[in-house]
Structure 1
């Protein structure tokens, strides 16, 4: 089971630029560091906890969507994801995605980069009222695929991914992208790597012979 943004696709350049553009009329320039502390879950929730009222949130959502649609080519899949998925499919292992991204844009990415045919299940940020680190979405996939927690591996790049996986009893491989991670989170991760490429190599190694 995979997170999407930061794990299978490199969307962070677009995400940071789009959110900064969305809130600029209300907050002025915003640093990448501040954006990192606020991001997580559907954009509406991020804006609701940041901006003043429903009107600003609605305007910010429009600006976010317009910017994202115009600059969508900034999102690119990480090298190696496709060969990983091809090998996992050959090994008859089920693959799924659990993402905080809303379903509309997630499905666009699945279609654009031909990810969809590999997936046996998907839970998006607007499918449930709960959001990471609540493990409900992860548990839904485990149940849908008729697995036990011991049968599953979750791969993500955020602290909330690790916390959700730990709460669900699912081993979680954390991609840290060179950032500092709290020790309490690190202790709950199954393994920690720096890049998606390292994560893909680790998965191939650990599933060899299955």
Structure 2
């Protein structure tokens, strides 16, 4: 039940943090190294949640598999060098995080981004110390959409899965949260391209701004009374 929530967990890219400017900048630099014209930001933004492999494929659609792997490694080198130049919390999230902390709720991140990028990024923004759990893409053998990273996050917060609400901007986020027994919300401000169909993901709701979380949370029957909390 939403009225029993005690934790909010976030996907990283496109949900908690607007990393697209820095990830786009890294792709532009990589393409320049190979004398390719840069792709506009608008073309790249909504592919960021699909990771470095998808971005390299966007910039180098004709690359053979071995060369694409080389490009991906180089892309990550460039990105790691300038990891947090323009990255920031999405608008509304600073207040949302503070409000959750005022309630005594646990905060956390579950992402497929590798830990060697996730941890320094959260540190640079002063967020790591505020998180009760940070589960990265290489923390476990399994990654989203598998539920195991979500269960680990729940264990680390000390709360059962049903007391968590997971926010994400990709189908795998919602699938992982649902499989783990958590409430799930789509971050409508995230990196959702026109080929995706979020209305079919089976989430418990969609937020167009973080402030919309509180009406969503309040408009729920309690287990005892059947009335809104």
Task: Structure 2: state its 5+ residue gaps.
Answer: 1-8, 221-228
Cα separation, 2, equivalents of 1:34 and 1:117: 31
Which has the higher Rg, Structure 1 or Structure 2?
2
Provide the alpha-carbon RMSD of the alignment: 3.5
Task: Structure 1: state its 5+ residue gaps.
Answer: none
Contact 1:26 1:56 in 2 (8 A): no
Cα distance, 1:53–1:168 mapped onto 2, change above 3 Å: same
Structure 2 length normalisation: TM-score? Answer: 0.71
Structure 1 position 78 matched with structure 2 position 90: yes
Q: Which region of structure 1 is more displaced relative to structure 2, 59-68 or 104-113?
A: 59-68
Cα separation, 1, equivalents of 2:169 and 2:21: 15
Partner of 1:91: 103
Structure 1 position 145 matched with structure 2 position 153: no
Structure 1 length normalisation: TM-score? Answer: 0.76
Contact 2:22 2:82 in 1 (8 A): no
Which of 184, 194, 201 is equivalent to 2:208? Answer: 194
**SS at 2:132 equivalent:** strand
Per residue, is there more helix in 1 or in 2? 1
Q: What are the Cα deviations for residues 105-160 of structure 1, in whole angstroms up to 9, with x where unaligned? A: 21122212111221111101121222221222111111232322221111112221
Structure 1 position 40 matched with structure 2 position 50: yes
Q: Which region of structure 1 is more displaced relative to structure 2, 30-39 or 11-20?
A: 30-39
Structure 1 position 119 matched with structure 2 position 131: yes
Aligned length: 204
